[in-house]
Amino acid sequence: MAKLLVVDDEANIRLLYSQELSDEGYQVVTAGSALEAVEKLESESFDLAVIDIKLKNESGIELLQRIVKERHTIPVILCTAFSCYKDDFSAWLADGYVVKSSDLQELKDEIARVLAKRQRLSQP
């Protein structure tokens, strides 16, 4: 069972993602801020992180950069209400980019794609 870290500053979103992704068979851990996410990343291991770009006063992209620098083996999917960040080169460090929508299928598909890719690539 793949273990996911969902980072979003909105509690309802965290709840929604947590339930939906758990129903998909994932083990889901949530964090409400970049700091909380870093703490969890230091204490637990994850297979994938889903990060909102706008985290109150923090930037999801900075968190992404930190993960890439310190734990480059964890794939990251950026999840945002804005499509404009697709053109921001800092966002290109991510493995996936999903524009938030009421239909969570795109996010689920992207998680499945990135995990499958990672699994395929890690096979000797």
Partner 1 sequence: MKAVIMAGGFGTRMQPLTCNIPKPMVPLMNRPIMLHIVELLKKYGVTDLVMLLYHQPSVIKNFFRDGADLGVRITYVTPLEDMGTAGAVKCAEKYLDERFLIISGDLLTDFNLQKVIDFHEANKALSTITLTSVKDPLQFGVVITDKEKRITQFLEKPGWGEVISDTINTGIYVLEPEIFKYIPEGENFDFSQDLFPLLLKKKAPLFGFPVKGYWRDIGNTDSYREAHHDILKGKVSVKVDEPRREMAGVDLRVGLDVRLGEGTVVEGTVVVGDNSQIQGGAEIKDTVIGRNCIIEPGVKLTRVVVWDNAYIKKGAKVVDCVICNNVSVGTATVMEEGGVIADDTAIGEESYIKRDVKIWPRKLIEAGSTVTGNLIWGERWKKSLFEGEMIKGLTNIELTPEFVAKLGCAYGTSLPKGSHVLVGRDTTLSSRMLKRSFLGGILSAGVNVRDIRMVSLPILRYKLRTFGEVGGVHFRQSLEDPATTEIVFLDADGLDFSSSMGKNIERIFYKENFRRAHHMEPGGITELPQVMDFYREGFFRGVDQQLIRGSRPKVVVDFNHSPAGQILPQILNDLGCEVIGLNTYLDEQRGSKTVDEKPNSLQQLAKIVMTLEARAGFWLDPTVEEVVLVDETGRICQPEEFLALMTLLMVKTGARGAFAVPVSAPSVIEEIAQENGCSVRRTKSMDRSMIEAAISPEVVMAGSMAGRFAFPKFQAAFDGMFTIAKTIELSCATGVPLSRVLKEVPKSSFLQGKVPCVWEKKGGIMRKMSEDSLDKEASFIDGIKVSFGNDWVLVLPDQYQPVIHVVAEAKDPKTAQKLLEEYMQKVERWKKELAQ
- Decide: is 99 part of the binding site for partner 1 (CB under 8 A): no
Q: How far apart are CA 35 and CA 42, in angstroms?
A: 11
Question: How many CA atoms are closer than 13 Å to the CA of 69, on its beta-carbon side?
Answer: 8
- Decide: is 3 part of the binding site for partner 1 (CB under 8 A): no
CB of 33 to partner 1, least distance (A): 24
- Decide: is 82 part of the binding site for partner 1 (CB under 8 A): no
Residues 18/6, Cβ–Cβ less than 8 Å: yes
Which residue has tokens 């409400």?
A: 32
CB of 115 to partner 1, least distance (A): 14
Give the interface with partner 1 as residue ranges (CB under 8 A). Answer: 68-69, 72-73, 86-90, 92-97, 117, 121-124
